[in-house]
Amino acid sequence: MDSPSHALQTQTNDAPPALSIVIPAFNEAGRIVSTLEEITSSAAVAGSRFEVLVVDDGSTDATVKRAAEFASALAASLAEDSSSATGQACAIHVIPGGRHRGKGHAVRRGVLAARGEVILICDADLSTPLDQIDRLRPWLDRGFDVVIGSRRMDDSVLDPPQPRHRRVMDTVFRIIRRRCLLPDIRDTQCGFKCFSRDAAQAIFARATLNGFVFDCEVLALARRLGYRIKEVGVLWKNDPDSRVRPIRDAIAMLLGLWRIRRMMRTARLDSDRESDGPDRPAEAQDRRTSDQRTES
């Protein structure tokens, strides 16, 4: 069983934040602090109530320790300076993991624990800078339920792009994936995605896949449930410290596509989009309640 989350809480417990930022983390000790520093000081969240959920995926390094230390230090700093720009708006939660299960599992736990009206998923390396959320959020206001960052739109900027072997791998996967499902979506794998709270809860309560192909399942579920999806070009920067294992992960992703296609053909989804009830996945029970939070 996962241990309780470390938390920095500077918001009132009865007021949900406007934005939840979910960051899956596996052995990110080398950059998790700089990532949190960049997020909490970003103009993209200035003046809004927001929370950050760092969801560990069974790291064997000091990821959880360093993230929790950052949360504690920031809590102390905000307590001393109540006039701080983030002092009235920021909450950081570090959710420790057990064994390594995969990015999809960590994201699912984080989303189902999030309280924000808008839920953003982003990678720990911030390969898509946080300010790109300003390109996504307006589409939620226009009635879309899921807005995804894309590296394949005409206005996408890749600086720098992936190395050649990764581009070939991605192109092959995209061709196969579009023949299997979601043919109108150009890029399912960019790790920068925005959801309305209702859509996120309904989708992730039904999601099951833990590997890299979880994005495809999430979007296929969104489509199956009738949610509106918008794809938006973003700035994206290649991370040379990629965790993708070309051959092994490619095989796993192809098998995952087959599984998703089969599930979409055979699964029976509730038409009313209810995500509560006896069939809701166990991860949904990871939701924080106010009396379980550790306040600093």
Residue 285 covered by a domain: no
Residue 295 covered by a domain: no
pLDDT digits (tens, 9 = 90+) for 183-192: 999 999 999 9
pLDDT above 90 as % of the chain: 65
User: For residue 215, which of 244, 245, 239, 185 has the smallest C-alpha distance?
Assistant: 185
State residue 152's pLDDT score: 96
pLDDT digits (tens, 9 = 90+) for 217-242: 999 999 999 999 999 999 999 988 76
State residue 272's pLDDT score: 46
pLDDT at 10 over 60: no
Say how far apart CA 284 and CA 291 lie, in whole Å. 17
Say how far apart CA 139 and CA 2 lie, in whole Å. 36
State residue 75's pLDDT score: 80
**82 to each of 8, 102, 237, 279, how far by Cα in Å?**
15, 38, 35, 44
Domain that holds residue 207: 6-272
pLDDT at 260 over 80: yes
CB 191 within 8 Å of CB 267:
no
Residue 281 covered by a domain: no
* Beta carbons within 8 Å of 22's beta carbon, 6+ residues apart: 53, 55, 107, 110, 111, 114, 119, 120, 121, 122
CATH assignment at residue 17 = 3.90.550.10
pLDDT at 252 over 80: yes
pLDDT band at 287 (very low <50, low <70, confident <90, very high): very low
Residue 245 covered by a domain: yes
Residue 113 covered by a domain: yes
**pTM of the complete model:** 0.85
pLDDT digits (tens, 9 = 90+) for 65-114: 999 999 998 888 877 766 544 444 788 999 999 999 999 999 999 999 99
Residue 293 covered by a domain: no
CB 102 within 8 Å of CB 210:
yes
Tokens representing 223? 């489509």
pLDDT band at 15 (very low <50, low <70, confident <90, very high): confident
pLDDT band at 291 (very low <50, low <70, confident <90, very high): very low
Q: Tell whether the torsion through CA atoms of 179, 185, 190 and 192 is positive or negative.
A: negative
Strand partners, 90: 50
State residue 273's pLDDT score: 54
Residue 206 covered by a domain: yes
Residue 288 covered by a domain: no
pLDDT at 285 over 60: no
Q: What's the domain count of the chain?
A: 1
Tokens representing 144? 């879309």
Average pLDDT over the chain reads: 85
